[in-house]
Amino acid sequence: MSLPVYLDHNATTPLDPAVLAAMLPWLECQYGNASSRHEYGRQARQAIDEARQKVASAVNAHPTEVVFTSGGSEANNLFIKGAAACLKPGLLAVSAIEHPCVLKPAGQLARQGWQVRELAVDGGGRVNVEDYTEVLLDKPKLLSIMLANNETGVVQDVAALAAAASRTGAWFHSDAVQALGKLAIDFRAFNAAGVHAMTLSAHKAAGPKGAAALVLDKRVELQPLIAGGGHERGLRSGTENVAAIVGFGVAAELAAARVAEASVRLQAMQAKLEAGLAGLGARIFATDVPRLPNTSFFAFPNIDGETLVGKLDRDGFAVASGAACSSTSPEPSHVLRAMGVVPEIARGALRVSLGVGNTDAEIEQFINALRVTVGRLQGLTAIH
């Protein structure tokens, strides 16, 4: 039995063979604790230092600015809660389309005396300029606005937003998890514009799960979420996952080296996919604003997204429904709701996120399968 065609790369990506090869020694024979003083420990420490350099170079940061964490969710929580713990409660502003690992810690701070504002977005999923300008007048202490959205692929002008916020003295964070390997990332340029922290994750860019980083301007004071032995500049205690960190380093290095070529290839496949979707009558979201070159978010009227995901899976295609932030929630996508999409359409949303391993033939096969499946479902809807 063959595996389904994988079209869900924004959820996670296949491990690159070069990444796996780099990790294997640290899973087999090089098992030292990086805090140990003997040769095993020194080798592990050197491997982590080299990986830190690779991650930093991939996004034009300094190695001392890279704080390794277990995932993007931890990195986002580390910034939001860690920075808030060093400040008197004030205004925290986040965009309404952030991932739950930003929105939920913001909600926790709201119960601790912080004022939380969700920034409105326009119909294209970009931060509403008027609302943002109004929020800045209230002088927020913390801001978090993602670089690229995981559902729509919409890319925010984070540099311009941060520059506007710099006059308020706010600490500005951006979740860049979806951007690594799809967009060129220059933390130094972002930092100069006013971005103080940025989140990256290995498994979104052909690296392993369990390794991520908060790239942090050293002027920002954070209280660690995990206290202990003082690892990661005292910001993230705990014995390091050496194998995953080594894999992250290689994945980041490869992502930076390949991003220009990958984005061209992905964009060509995206255009082919969306031409097929338009021919089937799909509504494709956010086509008039900058997007990631691999992400297409769309819906068919009167067709439930979860139903469509299940049928496509049985037909041999792995895609994602945009109908919920989690598998347990029946609510339509909060991203589409923020964009003003009516619930009837939002519940039918489907996301295809491509990877460089996908082919034009797979796109054609997917469109043909979708044509048959959508036709059947629309026929059933017409009968009822």
- Residue-wise pLDDT for 332-344, tens only, equals 899 999 999 999 9
- Identify the active-site residue in 29, 86, 101, 325: 325
* Of 65, 94, 83, 22, the residue nearest 200 (C-alpha): 65
Residue 299 and residue 228 in one domain:
no
Q: What share of the chain is helix, strand, coil (3-state, %, to 5)?
A: 45, 15, 40
Residue 328's pLDDT is 56
Residue 239 and residue 214 in one domain:
yes
Residue 323 and residue 218 in one domain:
no
- 11-23 CB burial, b ≥16 within 10 A, e <16: ebbebbeebbebb
Residue 210 and residue 263 in one domain:
no
Residue 324's pLDDT is 42
At residue 125, the 3 state secondary structure works out as coil
**Domain finish residue from 234, 254, 274:** 254
Instruction: Dig out the tokens for 242 from the structure.
Output: 């050496």
Q: Under a CB-based contact definition with an 8 Å cutoff, are residues 66 and 308 in contact?
A: no
> Over 90: is that where the pLDDT of 66 sits?
yes
Q: How many CB atoms lie within 10 A of CB 344?
A: 11
Residue 43 and residue 188 in one domain:
yes
Residue 208 and residue 129 in one domain:
yes
* Of 178, 198, 179, 177, the residue nearest 187 (C-alpha): 198
Residue 111 and residue 164 in one domain:
yes
Annotated catalytic, 86?
A: no
At residue 137, the 3 state secondary structure works out as helix
- Residue-wise pLDDT for 87-143, tens only, equals 999 999 999 999 999 999 999 999 999 999 999 999 999 999 999 999 999 999 999
Edge-to-edge strands, sheet with 350-353: 283-284, 295-299, 350-353, 320-321
d(CA 256, CA 247): 14
Q: Under a CB-based contact definition with an 8 Å cutoff, are residues 63 and 187 in contact?
A: no
| Complete DSSP assignment for 193-239 | HT--EEEEEGGGTT--TT-EEEEE-TTS----SS-SS-TGGGTS-S-
- Residue-wise pLDDT for 14-63, tens only, equals 999 999 999 999 999 999 999 999 999 999 999 999 999 999 999 999 99
> Phi first, then psi: what are they for 321, rounded to 5°?
-90, 140
Q: How many CB atoms lie within 10 A of CB 205?
A: 27
- Structurally, how many domains does the chain consist of? 2
Q: Under a CB-based contact definition with an 8 Å cutoff, are residues 309 and 323 in contact?
A: no
Residue 211 and residue 82 in one domain:
yes
Residue 296 and residue 369 in one domain:
yes
What value does the mean pLDDT take over residues 285-306? 96
**Domain finish residue from 254, 287, 307:** 254
* Pairing label, strands 197-201, 212-216: antiparallel
Residue 380's pLDDT is 64
* Of 331, 328, 368, 367, the residue nearest 346 (C-alpha): 331
* Of 319, 249, 235, the residue nearest 47 (C-alpha): 249
CATH of the domain at 58: 3.40.640.10
Instruction: Dig out the tokens for 173 from the structure.
Output: 């964070």
- Write out the residue range of the structural domain in which residue 345 sits: 5-12+259-383
Residue 56 and residue 195 in one domain:
yes
**What value does the mean pLDDT of the chain take?**
95
* Of 266, 91, 54, 59, the residue nearest 174 (C-alpha): 59
**Domain finish residue from 254, 285, 314:** 254
Residue 166 and residue 268 in one domain:
no
- Residue-wise pLDDT for 172-191, tens only, equals 999 999 999 999 999 999 99
Residue 30 and residue 114 in one domain:
yes
CATH of the domain at 327: 3.90.1150.10
> Over 60: is that where the pLDDT of 231 sits?
yes
Q: What is the DSSP letter of 366?
A: H
d(CA 120, CA 129): 9
* Pairing label, strands 5-6, 91-95: unpaired
